[in-house]
Every structure is written in structure tokens, then in C-alpha cells.
Structure 1
Amino acid sequence: MPRPGQLKSSSCERLSDRIAVGVLTRAFPPELVDEVVVQCGRVEQRHRLLPARVVVYFVLAMCLFSGQGYEEVARLLTHGLERARRWDRAWRVPTTAAIGRARLRLGPEPLKELFARVCRPVATPQTAGAWYRGRRLVAVDGTTFDLPDTEANAAFFGRPGSGRGQGRSAYPQARVALLVECGTHAVFAAATGPLTIHERSLGARLFSALQPGMLLLADRGFTGFELWRDAAATGADLLWRVRKNVVLPVVATFDDGSYLSEIVSDSDRRRRADPIPVRVIEYTLTTATDATVYRLITTLCDPTAAPATELAALYAQRWEIETTLDEIKTHQGGPGLVLRSQHPAGVEQEIYGILLVHHALRDLIHHAAHDADCDPDRLSFTRTLRVVRRHVTDQAALSPLPAHSRPHPDPA
């Protein structure tokens, strides 16, 4: 006897097997989602209206259509499916409560595993703006997400001070650290936690994703001997801005104006035990109203292989991670973004869903830029987002195709 929601023919399939997230299914094909669901132990013991695969796609759609209610997102996922074939039992849109319970059953682990499997740097050697002298440019930074004001979220994540003498912030906040490929804005490593964990500590959890051949850019918030030592131990090169009060003795000077120095642990500052050699580049950026002194330290100690003027100009690429955060929080999430999850596990699930959707969009942009032989920065993220949202509803009734045979919408 066929299960509820199945066709009665020998070639039958559940209606839920037909659900896809339009062009996003290219990045997250159903067979991969099924593998992740099995690996994380989320396979259903009985047929449900919302099996685990559907819930994964629902979370992705929820993070694509920020601001839409649960039931409306479910309608977008299944638009047209009822009329596509004759099912044994008609599809009904799950209630908000049912979707909430399904998300709770799924948990964050399948989304985190999907992120670990899919999200990688995407630039090829031909990608414009992604490289410096053969090194892949990447950046690290932290941010926060506002959360619904529930007891569970406040207890786990905490609240920031208002900074205006008015007590605590209206919203609990989750802290997130990211590694981003500068040339493509692809997020390829992430860590989440409560506000009590400093972004430096979260950032250190990402260093396992660094590799030789990368050049990691970081701002002053990531200054620290142990952090530098651990990042450099991965084999990646580093170019970090440091605060002006960091002691950097001149060991040797170079013709390009940079100089060789060394950094030591704060605990060994007097003895200067086990110093790490660094090269220092100092310069001033002057505007009509201000003059800012920049101090950079780098593992690239040969000025002939990496001239100071090139590194000073290169540091501006660190701002690509700021642009990436703006894409995620302002454009994909919407102005004044507050996540919708009421519990910490749902918050983590939602954050990884947001990052998965952003990576799929950025991978799509990279493919389009490659086909057009142009810099990915020249293609609009906002327009790509609009195109993908349209394609989700247009393609919801189509059976997912293999990744190599699905066309790319033109986001230009």
C-alpha cells in the first residue's frame, strides 16, 4: 500500500521528494542533503508531512525569504506541486507550530554539516581580484546578530550594554566569526557563540580552514601574539593591522621603508622570550578632515617579494569582508534584521542557513562572472538575490536536476 502523499504507480514518489529550492538546489542537491540527514541521525522513523530533507530546504528558503512568515515560505516551496501530478493525498501547508516543531527535531547539526561539506573558497586562478602574487586573499572578522527577546536566547547568548547609560540592549545577540574569500565574498568557515566569547576566541576556531597559499587579512581586533602564532602555524601568510601602542622594536630596516621587528607574548614582554619575527609597514592615509596612521605586520619578510607599497594598498581588500557582512545582514536579511528563532539551537540553525544561502548566491555570481570574463565585484549581489527569489517560485514544481545540467540565471 502506498504511503500517504505517494503516487500509486510503480514510479511513484512522495510529494515531499519533489520539493526543491529552485536554483539553490544546484548548490545543495537532494542526494547530498539526504546524506547529511543520515549522517546526523535525523532520518524519520515514520512518514511525516515535514520529513528532514524538506525541513532543511525549508530553513534555506526561510533564510532566502527573510521577513516572510513560516506558512508563506512553505507555500513558496510547494507552489504548483499539487497540480503537477495526482498524489495519493493532497498536500496541505503545515502550521507555524508544526514547522517550529520540525525545525526543533532537525536541530542545527545538518545545516552545520552541509556548510562544512559545501562552503569552500570558489576563486579559480583566473578570478580577478582574488589573488596577490599567487596567494589567495582571505579575511577574518566578527559580527553579531540580533535575536528575538526570549528567556532562552537571553540566558544563552546574553545582551550587550546599550552604550548610552540606558541599561541592557533590547535584543539578545549571537556572536559570529567568519572567514571570507576577498575576491568572491564566499564565506568558507564560521563559528557561533554567546557574547561572552570574544571574537578573537571565535576567530581562532576558524584557523583549521587556513592553508598554505592563503594570505589572511585582519583588523586591529585580532591583534594578539598567540592568535598570530596559531594562524601562522597553518602555513598561511598574514597581513594584520595592529594598534599603535604595540611595541615593535626595529631590528633591521629595508629600502622600501618597512622594517624587521618581532612580537612576543604579553606574559614574556620583559624577557622577550621566543620572539616571532615580523615585518612592519607604516603609512598615513590623509583625507580632507583627518589623517590616520596605519601599522601593519606581516609574515612576508622579503621586501623584494612583497614591496611595502603593494602591501599597504592590498590591505584595503580587508574591507571586502565588511561588504560581505552588509550583503548578509542588510540585503539578504533586510534592514534592521532580527533572526526569527526563539531558542538557541534554532538560532544556530538559522545562522548556518543564512550563510549557506549567501554562499550559494556568491558561487552563482562567480560562475556568471567567469562565463562573462569579468571581476565578480562587477555583478550585483542585490540583483542576483532578486533573480534567485523569483526562480525559487518558478522552479518549485520542477524535479531537481543534476548540478552539471542546471542553467545559471544571469545575475548581471
Structure 2
Amino acid sequence: MKASWEKTEKNTGILTVETDEQAVVDALNQAFKKVVKKVNVPGFRKGKVPRSLFEQRFGVESLYQDALDILLPVAYEEAVKETEIFPVDRPEIDIEQLEKGKTLIFKATVTVKPEVTLGEYKGLEVPEKDFTVTAEAVEEELTNMQKQQGQLEVVESGAVENGDRVIIDFAGSVEGVAFEGGTAEQYTLEIGSGSFIPGFEDQMIGMNLGDEKDIEVTFPEEYHVEDLAGKPAVFKVKLHEIKRLNLPELDDEFAQDVSEFDTLEELKADTEKKLQEKAEKEKESYIRNELVEKAAQNAEVEIPEVMIESETEQMLNQFAQQLSYQGLNLEMYAQFTGQDQEQLKEQFKGDAEKKVRANLVLEAIGKAENLEPSTEDIDQEMEDMAQQMSRDVEEIRKLVDAQGALESIKDQLRMKKTIDLLVSVSQNKA
């Protein structure tokens, strides 16, 4: 097989491939074995039609598409390896020659991973940021623990307050006409959660049990339903139930209930220690992220749009997975917030571009510095994975081999070593 690569634009080029004649013969043979099983010819059972008769009646050209399906992926992959290019998108294929007894010649228009021109990445400085754990932060953490131990209790009398969970019926309309998704009965809503259209929850504060009220709101201009975007709406609301969180006292008894400590002071001291440990990790993460961003900003790279689109799609999928843990999906999220998938993608696009740029620059720095994970690094990673998954190390090794995940693990380790380098040569190093 012959393969050549010629760049036509910054990140695009033409991959020209010519296979040998035998590869075409083999592909046509495989195609015939597949097609002949479906052919009906009088006097022959399915699958038993002679090749010569088949080609006489249907033409060898009838095998070309199946032969291409067999031959193209293999030839393309071999050509990519031979020319050492890194495609980032599906190629556009143009067949120039496919005939029985001749070679297959095709051209593939390919978008490849961009080249990076590194800027300064050593001696970078990160602005100082305060990660001090304050007394207020400790109290806030204790309050969160207190809320977790709180009990929801039905409010027998009184008005709705911020933070209450209410059960309501509602029916929405625009200009007197009901709209899809605007009606529900016995709906549970947390006041202050921001789940509904802005202004809805605020107007429920002060309502009493059994009250009925017309709540007037305006749909956001960017609402996902075009017919409703920016329009005023009226929701007829009836309040059925109020539940409020009853909090336990913050005292020694509380400390004994939620921890191994006997006194509240001991719990406070332990909480402060954990917050300080968390703050140290956040500080380390902050420095690493800032250094990566600065190195990326100093580099020059023209990113193909398809790489940004792919990363954006991954971010959307991850967001959808996070929603699923809360019993939601993208459609429900769009209904509550007015943001559809396209708007979410647009929202993620900036971060997706930054992530792609950072990864490309880190890869380029790693190559420039000849950074490679050692056997010890890989062994340690396997042990860490085994510990996290509560499985045997050898079992993890077999799993990694079976999934072909070793290169991915090496890539992650290279990136970690590269960021470690940025930290070690920065002005913020210890």
C-alpha cells in the first residue's frame, strides 16, 4: 500500500491512498460471499450461484459497495499510521479508482490535530488567593450538618417562608390560553430553590394553607419554547400543604449524635481541621489550574471547530448524567429553567474551547520536555485504582488490558507530570 499526506490548510489536508491489487481481489471475494447468500437465481440454491454467472447477470460493479465497506476502513487506518497523522474528525472520501484487476485509489480530506506553538510556560506566577478557614466557615459547616439532621414537619398554621417545601396545584396561561406543561396537581416545590420561573417562588411567600392566588410572572427572553419566550403569564395557584425543617439544637448531644465526639467543641475543632485540609487541596488545585490556563494563553494554536463541538457534546452528556442522579433529564431541566440543549451547548462552548486548548498545550509541553510515565508511575496508578474500586491489583491490570485502556492511563499520567512540571518551575513553588 502507498500513502501520502499533503496539507492544504492549517489543520486540513489530503491523504492519498493506493492499495495493492490483491487487497481489492480479497475484498471483492468477501463481498461476493456476503451478497451471494441473498441472491435468487433459477436453478440454484441461495449461496450456490457460480461467481462467473453472478457477474454475468449482475455485473462485478454490484460488489463494489460491499467491497469498499470491507476495504476502506482497513486501508484508511493503515494509511493514517503510515503517514503519522492524527485525525480529529471523520474523513471525506473520494474514490478515484475501483475496478476488478486494478488497485483501489482514494483521497481522504482529513482534519487533523493542530500544531501548537508554545509560549512561555516556565516561571509563571499565580495571583495570591486567600484560602484561610474562618470561624464563619466553620459555623456554616455546622449549620449544614444541622440541616441534614433536621426533620420536615407539617405546618398546621402560618404562612409560607423561604426554604419551606409546599404542595400546590397550579395552572398557567398566557393571554388567557393554557399552555403545554403549565398545569400540575399536588406538585412539591421548595421555596427558594429557583426551580420555577423567576418571581414565582417569591410570590408564594406569605400564602396560607388553602389560599388561592394568581401569580404573575414573565417568561425569560431566552426561554426554550419560542411561543412563550418573553411573554407575561398568570399561574392560578392553590396551596395544599406546608412543610418546614425543624432543626436540632447545636449542643453536646448533637455532637454525640452526628460524630464520635462527646462535646460540640471537639466537633468544631474536627470540622475546622477538615475544612483546612480541604482548603489546602483547593489551593493546590487553584495553582495548578491557573498555571495551565496561563501556559495555554501564552501558546498559539488554531483549534478545529470539530474538536470544540466534540468536547461540548461530552460536557452536555456529563451534565445529563449529573441530572439523572437527581432524578431529572435534559427535557425536565429545560422545562424548569427555559434552557434547551442548544442553549446549554452554547453555554458550555467557551469552557469546552478552553479545555481543548489546555489539553493540546499540555501535550505539546510534555513532548517538548520528553515527559513519560515510568513503570513505577503506572504501577502506582494501578494500585490507586484497585484501592478506589476495592479490587485486586491483578484484576485491575486484566481489566485495563481487556478494555485497551493502558494508553489512556498513560496519557493521563503524562498530563499530571506536565502539570507537576509547571508547578515546580513556577514562581509559586514552595
Q: TM-score, normalised by structure 2?
A: 0.20
Max radius of gyration: which structure?
2
More helix by share: 2
Q: TM-score, normalised by structure 1?
A: 0.21
